[in-house]
Structure 1
């Protein structure tokens, strides 16, 4: 788990219970954090995903691999070694972003940018006030703000209430987004990493629309988005207790330009990243139908992203339905096209 390039020495990977947690076995050797103790994971869903990382790392015995191939492992090690033993310090560091929260600093010009900020950011300040009892003040320009004591106190309480895994994810998300509010929204499942990153890059996106993009900027934005996705996935999988109930089951009917644009392939990849089970298929009438099961937060996050989909798609609406006929946990697949969607419960 160090930052250096290493060579693969194992042939098989598995995860197994270790008391109330899970451990990873590389052949017959347990995986350890750099400090020496065993890496112990809080959910079977996370353990399975970490196991998959090590199964893929390097490919064959003797092949080289680096830490970029093990994002979940790095986050799990950070949680165990750096977050859990020093929670007050982590909370204090995150609380330091309150006065400088991106959402509270609005442009003085041009008017179109200010309107865009207002429309995109204000709903999340409202969410923060409703969800955490923290009403933050807004200013224009770059003069520093000092947020009300009661709002800062409320956000401090919200941070103390987070799990170790959530604090670990927030430690990645908040610096990337420049916003504690957006980070808490992702941790709460109210906002997906993709949407949160888009909100954080709103000013930059506006400038790119007028002056054009360059390769360095695009590469940097892609790297930020990837880090945000990894943090979100870590938090989602950490919550997904494999020994518990299967979570929510939803049927989606997706309308718009969603066939012939890679929408099903995109949805399969995103669902697998979040550890969901189910299937997606085309319908003869041009819609896409999906049946998804997993932790409610993960399904909610994917639903937010599904309204956008891959680049060539144009989603006009997604009808959702809660189901109660659980599906077998056999992964997430692309099913054959169908003439008719599943029968809705309301018509039974």
Structure 2
């Protein structure tokens, strides 16, 4: 092998034909040729609702000759909810609150005026709604200099996260990281934002720049990948237990 050459990682080959969802242990399991799917640590991949199990099953059924693990977003999120969240619920809620501490939609541009006006028109209603529903207050900032948020606000965001079950908490943490905003993740969870709306609100600056200066192909491809994840997360939240 030539020095400096990195051999490409071979993707795992599809090893099954049939995919089905069956009731199991009070939930629903995905089976491949009759065998249950395992999490990375060897646990059973059992989902609390049929709708969640269907999401995972669809990903496995959609695979071709090789497995595109990176694109199996619901499966990876389910693994997180089952294996990573239970022993780290407090830490995960802290992570959600940390996004609220420097939430994307609290940082308005200083200029140009057209961008500032667009941010105010689209972000302010979301901020107002979370403040009214959660009885909290978010400090708006101009520019990129960090602005501390009230401790009571961050404590309430943490409480909102901890009130979720493992699958809901996994979704909130995923959404906060995806959008750079705990507020947008909570809005999507509560159903007053769609996945597309939450994504576009998180990309408002990038959308404005593309309108003004043109579309960068690499940035556009990345945005499309993120949008797919936002759409998955909307469906994920809708599939959670009542």
TM norm. shorter chain > 0.5: yes
Alignment partner of 2:99: what SS? coil
Give the Å deviation of 1:4: 6.5
31, 43, 52: which one aligns with 1:46: 52
Pairing of 1:243-262 with structure 2 (within 5 A): none
Alignment partner of 1:134: what SS? coil
Aligned equivalents of 1:99 and 1:70: distance in 2?
30
Give the Å deviation of 1:99: 2.1
TM-score (norm 2): 0.91
- Cα gap change, 1:69/1:196 in structure 2, threshold over 3 Å: closer, same or farther? closer
149, 162, 165: which one aligns with 1:163: 165
65, 68, 83: which one aligns with 1:66: 68
| Alignment partner of 1:35 is 2:41 | yes
Contact 2:109–2:143, Cα closer than 8 Å, also in 1: yes
Q: Which has the higher contact order (CA 8 A, sep 6+)?
A: 2
Aligned equivalents of 1:84 and 1:189: distance in 2?
25
| Alignment partner of 1:9 is 2:15 | yes
1:180 aligned residue = 182
Alignment partner of 1:33: what SS? coil
Contact 2:141–2:147, Cα closer than 8 Å, also in 1: yes
Contact 1:170–1:231, Cα closer than 8 Å, also in 2: no
Aligned equivalents of 2:59 and 2:225: distance in 1?
19
Which structure 1 segments of 5+ residues have no match? 241-348
CA deviations on 1:78-125 (whole Å, 9 max, x unpaired) are 110111221111111111112211111111111221111111111111
Give the Å deviation of 1:127: 0.7
TM-score (norm 1): 0.64
2:132 aligned residue = 130
Contact 2:93–2:173, Cα closer than 8 Å, also in 1: no
What number of residue pairs does the alignment pair up?
Answer: 234
1:270 aligned residue = none
Contact 1:187–1:232, Cα closer than 8 Å, also in 2: yes
Alignment partner of 2:174: what SS? helix
2:197 aligned residue = 195
Structure that is richer in strand per residue: 1
Aligned equivalents of 2:143 and 2:58: distance in 1?
47
Structure that is richer in helix per residue: 2
Greater Rg over alpha carbons, structure: 1
2:234 aligned residue = 232
